[in-house]
């Protein structure tokens, strides 16, 4: 079991909620003994859970007067989770999730964004059709760079790049201004849980009057690193 699989399947949360079967639990415990990041995540989350239990177990003010508010029969099922017996555990669970994100997830994402890194990349020529497609290998969920070559053309005021996944579905579109002195455009593709296969990049030129024409189409072979 590697760290990427633990993060992808949220095994730390499942372990704390006792949702793993015996084999998964044994594999996870074997992993976090050797993984400092998972061990820290588990320690922080466990500490917060214990503190939450202590706060929720504190006695309430016994001088308060309990007032029963009748709930209409037809709405009782819909709002049954608001009853104290269910609301308190639900609130505790939400507090755990919020604290875990603030203490672990968000700081980790902020560190990743602020840390210099070398991204996988590929160079694409939109005027080349046929032949072999460039191959790029990316860890699952990671972003990568595409250096898109578009020969300058004074006819267009801007370009629109459309990326299609292996199933032919449009994944995203990017609009950027045309520049007569530039023929290569670095495009950072955001991280996502993509499938391996052949992706197609189509580039359209748009004139100042709004007329659109495809100026090139190319493809790349995406491989997912396990």
Residue 204: which CATH number? 2.60.40.10
> Which residues, in sequence order, are bridge partners of residue 203?
161, 216
Kindly report the number of other CB atoms within 10 A of residue 7's CB atom: 17
Question: Is residue 101 predicted with pLDDT exceeding 70?
Answer: no
**What are the counts of helices (DSSP H) followed by strands (DSSP E) for the chain?**
7, 8
162 with 196, same domain: the answer is: yes
CB of 195 within 8 A of CB of 171? no
7 with 99, same domain: the answer is: yes
pLDDT tens digits for range 161-213: 999 999 999 999 999 898 766 788 899 998 888 999 999 999 999 999 999 99
Among 114, 129, 154, where does a domain finish? 114
Backbone angles phi, psi at 207, to 5 degrees: -80, 175
pTM for the whole thing?
Answer: 0.52
90 with 128, same domain: the answer is: no
- In terms of residue numbers, what domain contains 187? 121-225
26 with 77, same domain: the answer is: yes
7 with 110, same domain: the answer is: yes
In eight-state DSSP terms, residue 32 is: H
89 with 44, same domain: the answer is: yes
Mean pLDDT of 36-42: 69
Please, what sign has the CA dihedral across residues 19, 22, 27, 28? positive
125 with 67, same domain: the answer is: no
54 with 94, same domain: the answer is: yes
Domain count, the chain: 2
178 with 109, same domain: the answer is: no
18 Cβ neighbours under 8 A, 6+ residues apart: none
Average pLDDT, rounded, for the chain: 76
Among 114, 144, 168, where does a domain finish? 114
62 with 162, same domain: the answer is: no
86 with 108, same domain: the answer is: yes
26 Cβ neighbours under 8 A, 6+ residues apart: none
133 with 189, same domain: the answer is: yes
**Structural tokens at position 41:** 């995540």
CB of 213 within 8 A of CB of 204? yes
Among 114, 142, 166, where does a domain finish? 114
Mean pLDDT of 30-55: 66
């Amino acid at each position: 079991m590697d760290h990427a699989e633990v993060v992808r399947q949220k095994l730390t949360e499942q372990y704390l909620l006792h949702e793993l079967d015996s084999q998964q639990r044994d594999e996870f415990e074997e992993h976090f003994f050797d993984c400092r990041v998972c061990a820290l995540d588990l320690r922080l989350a466990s500490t917060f859970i214990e503190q939450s239990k202590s706060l929720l177990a504190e006695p309430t003010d016994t001088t308060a007067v309990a007032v029963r508010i009748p709930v209409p029969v037809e709405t009782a099922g819909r709002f049954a989770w608001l009853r104290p017996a269910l609301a308190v555990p639900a609130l505790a669970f939400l507090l755990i999730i919020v604290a875990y994100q603030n203490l672990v997830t968000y700081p980790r994402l902020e560190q990743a964004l602020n840390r210099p890194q070398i991204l996988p990349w590929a160079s694409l020529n939109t005027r080349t059709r046929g032949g072999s497609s460039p191959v790029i290998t990316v860890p699952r969920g990671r972003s990568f760079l595409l250096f898109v070559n578009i020969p300058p053309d004074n006819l267009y005021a801007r370009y629109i790049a459309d990326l299609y996944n292996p199933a032919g579905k449009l994944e995203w579109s990017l609009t950027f201004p045309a520049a007569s002195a530039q023929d290569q455009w670095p495009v950072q593709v955001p991280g996502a849980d993509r499938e391996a296969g052949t992706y197609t990049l189509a580039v359209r030129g748009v004139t100042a009057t709004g007329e659109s024409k495809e100026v090139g189409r190319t493809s790349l072979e995406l491989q997912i690193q396990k």
